[in-house]
């Protein structure tokens, strides 16, 4: 039996080495939860933006919804999900998708609305259908701004996923909540720091991956 399992205090690196398999497993679950939720958020945010960006009233309503939605405390929303659904992965995913969609929706509206209208009219004059104009012109031109929203959303979801441990969601948040619940006890601080540092490392990795994706999916002519 190790010192950590016996409840003896130990150095941070010894704590990490002792809990390495659990930390690695929780880190993978945390990253997987964020990435899958971010993928769903991207589809929803872009779809909603496509529905409303041509309407000033619709765009204003969507932006207002995004602004208000981001002010809702994640604890409150996750607690509500528990009351409606249950504990576990499902309320965690719903909460993350909700928060993840908002920055993407706002940026997608800004990007699509900012496409030069003369280019759109020229494309239509050449016989392109509205769907073709959207898919071949407007979304590609707006994509850098959309990707910025996706990157912002990804960083935000890394933190929200930690709070999902409140509803028994997967990830490194469990280490943080465990340390907080027994703060002052043996290895409580080590547990908090290990979870926090792990999330920061995952956030950097995700941002680097999204930067690569952004470069690979953005047309060469509009790369910064």
pLDDT tens for each residue of 108-142: 999 999 988 888 888 888 888 888 989 889 999 99
Break the chain into its structural domains and give their ranges: 27-222
Evaluate the CA torsion angle 177, 181, 186, 192 in order and state its sign.
positive
Angle between helical axes of 20-52 and 89-113 (0-180°, round to 10): 40
Global confidence as pTM: 0.89
Please compute, for residue 10, the number of CA atoms within 13 A of its CA located in the half-sphere on the CB side: 17
Contact present, 49 and 110 (Cβ < 8 Å): no
- What's residue 224's pLDDT? 57
* φ/ψ of residue 66, rounded to 5: -60, -45
State yes or no: pLDDT of 1 exceeds 60.
no
CATH placement of domain 27-222:
1.10.3720.10
In this prediction, residue 84 carries a pLDDT of: 81
Whole-angstrom CA distances from 132 to 42, 143, 146 are 20, 16, 19
Residue 5 reports pLDDT greater than 60: no
Is residue 189 within 8 A of residue 20, CB to CB? The reply is: no
């Amino acid at each position: 039996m190790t010192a950590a399992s016996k409840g003896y205090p130990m150095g941070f690196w010894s704590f990490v080495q002792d809990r390495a398999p659990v930390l690695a497993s929780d880190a993978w679950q945390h990253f997987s939860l964020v990435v899958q939720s971010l993928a769903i958020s991207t589809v929803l945010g872009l779809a909603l933006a496509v529905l409303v960006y041509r309407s000033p009233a619709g765009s204003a309503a969507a932006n207002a919804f995004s602004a208000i939605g981001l002010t809702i405390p994640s604890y409150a929303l996750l607690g509500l999900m528990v009351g409606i659904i249950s504990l576990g992965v499902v309320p965690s995913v719903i909460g993350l998708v909700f928060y993840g969609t908002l920055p993407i929706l706002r940026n997608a509206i800004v990007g699509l609305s900012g496409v030069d209208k003369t280019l759109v009219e020229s494309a239509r004059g050449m016989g392109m259908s509205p769907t073709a104009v959207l898919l071949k012109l407007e979304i590609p031109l707006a994509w850098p701004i959309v990707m910025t929203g996706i990157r912002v959303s990804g960083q935000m979801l890394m933190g929200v996923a930690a709070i999902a441990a409140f509803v028994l969601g997967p990830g490194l948040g469990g280490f943080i909540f465990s340390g907080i619940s027994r703060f002052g006890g043996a290895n409580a601080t080590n547990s908090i720091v290990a979870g926090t540092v792990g999330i920061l490392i995952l956030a950097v990795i995700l941002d680097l991956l999204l930067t690569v994706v952004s470069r690979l999916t953005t047309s060469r002519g509009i790369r910064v």
